[in-house]
Structure 1
Amino acid sequence: MRDDLSDAVRLYRQLYPELDLRVDGAVAAAWAATPATPGRTVLLAEVGGVVVGTADLTVLADAARAGRPYLLVENVVVDAGVRRAGVGRALLAAARAHGGAAGCYELQLSADDPAAFAFYEAAGLAAAARTSEQHLDDDERS
C-alpha cells in the first residue's frame, strides 16, 4: 500500500502542480483509510509494472432518487509520458464497469483543464453542468 501511495502522489503532483504534495503522516493515514471507506475505490493503471494512472471512485446514494447510487470520479490523472496511449480511456472504462456493477445510474466528474474537457468528450462524456466551488480552509493540500 505504501508503494501505491508514493505512485499516486507522484501522479497527483502532475494533476495539482500548485500544491506542495508529499508523502507524510497525514497523507499516509488518508490513503490507508480510503479503501476502508464504504463506496470508495482507487483505480491504478500500470504499464510495464509502473503505475501510470489513477482515478478515485466514490459510489454515493442519491436521496432524490430513492437512494439510487451514482458514481463520482475524481483525481483522474495519467502520467504525462504515456498520455494518448489509451491509459485514460482504460481508467474510464474501468470506472464505468465499477459503476455499472454497483448499480449506478450516472457517472459524474469535473475538470478545469481544456485538454481534459476534450478528452472526456472524446471518451463519450457530455458536459452537463457548471461546477462551482469554494475552498473552506486555507490548507494548500486540500
Structure 2
Amino acid sequence: MTVRVLTEQDWPAAARLYAQLNTKASFVADAKAQANFAKVLRHDGTFIYGAHLNGEVQAMATLHLMPNVTYGGRPYGLIENVVSDKAARGLGLARAEMEAAIEEAWLANAYKVMLLTGQQNEAVGFYEKMGFSSDDKIGMILRRP
C-alpha cells in the first residue's frame, strides 16, 4: 500500500469513490465534476490523499488547511470526503490516508484537525480510534433549502 496526494490523472478512480461516498447526494461523474475535482486539487492548502493498493486508488480523504486569526494565526485542518472502496474496507487504507492528512496538518502547524461524520455512521468508532472526539465541540450544519 502507498499513500500520495492525488492528481488530475486520478480522476477515474476518484469518481468511482465519490459515487460510493454518499448515496443520498447526487453525484454524476461528468465533465463538470471532473473540472471541480481539478479545481479542488489546485486550491491552495487543499490536498486529496489517496491510498493505493496494487497500483489502484482504493481510498481517499480531502484535507483543507484553513487560515485562521486566533491561535497565533495557526491554521486548522478540516477533513472531508473520507471514503474507501467497498471491496477494500478493513485493510487499513482509510487509516493510512487519514494519518497522512493529519501529518500534513501538523507539518503546517495546525492547532487542530476536525471533521464531521453522520450520526448514524459506522465510521464514528473508526474516527474515535484515531483520536477524534466529540467531547469539546458540537458539529452543526445549515443546508441551503
TM-score, normalised to structure 2's length? 0.86
Q: Is 1:119 aligned to residue 123 of structure 2?
A: no
Report if aligned partners of 2:79, 2:113 keep a CA contact under 8 Å in 1.
yes
Q: Quick check: 6-15 or 53-62, which moved more?
A: 6-15
Corresponding residue for residue 141 of structure 2: 133
In 1: Cα distance, 2:30 partner to 2:88 partner:
27
Q: CA deviation at 1:3?
A: 4.5
Report if aligned partners of 2:64, 2:78 keep a CA contact under 8 Å in 1.
yes
Number of residues of Structure 1 aligned to a counterpart in Structure 2: 137
Report if aligned partners of 1:70, 1:105 keep a CA contact under 8 Å in 2.
yes
Corresponding residue for residue 98 of structure 1: 104
Report if aligned partners of 1:5, 1:23 keep a CA contact under 8 Å in 2.
no
Q: Is 1:89 aligned to residue 95 of structure 2?
A: yes
Deviations 1:89-116 (A, max 9, x none): 1011101111111111111111004311
Report if aligned partners of 2:8, 2:41 keep a CA contact under 8 Å in 1.
no
RMSD: 1.6
Corresponding residue for residue 31 of structure 2: 25
Deviations 1:111-139 (A, max 9, x none): 004311111011221123222212225xx
Deviations 1:5-31 (A, max 9, x none): 221121122111123312222212111
In 2: Cα distance, 1:83 partner to 1:104 partner:
29
Deviations 1:45-87 (A, max 9, x none): 1100111100011101122323211111000011111111111
Any stretches of 5+ residues in structure 2 without a counterpart? 1-6
Q: Quick check: 123-132 or 91-100, which moved more?
A: 123-132
Q: Percent identity?
A: 29
Report if aligned partners of 2:71, 2:111 keep a CA contact under 8 Å in 1.
no
In 2: Cα distance, 1:21 partner to 1:3 partner:
19
Any stretches of 5+ residues in structure 1 without a counterpart? 138-142
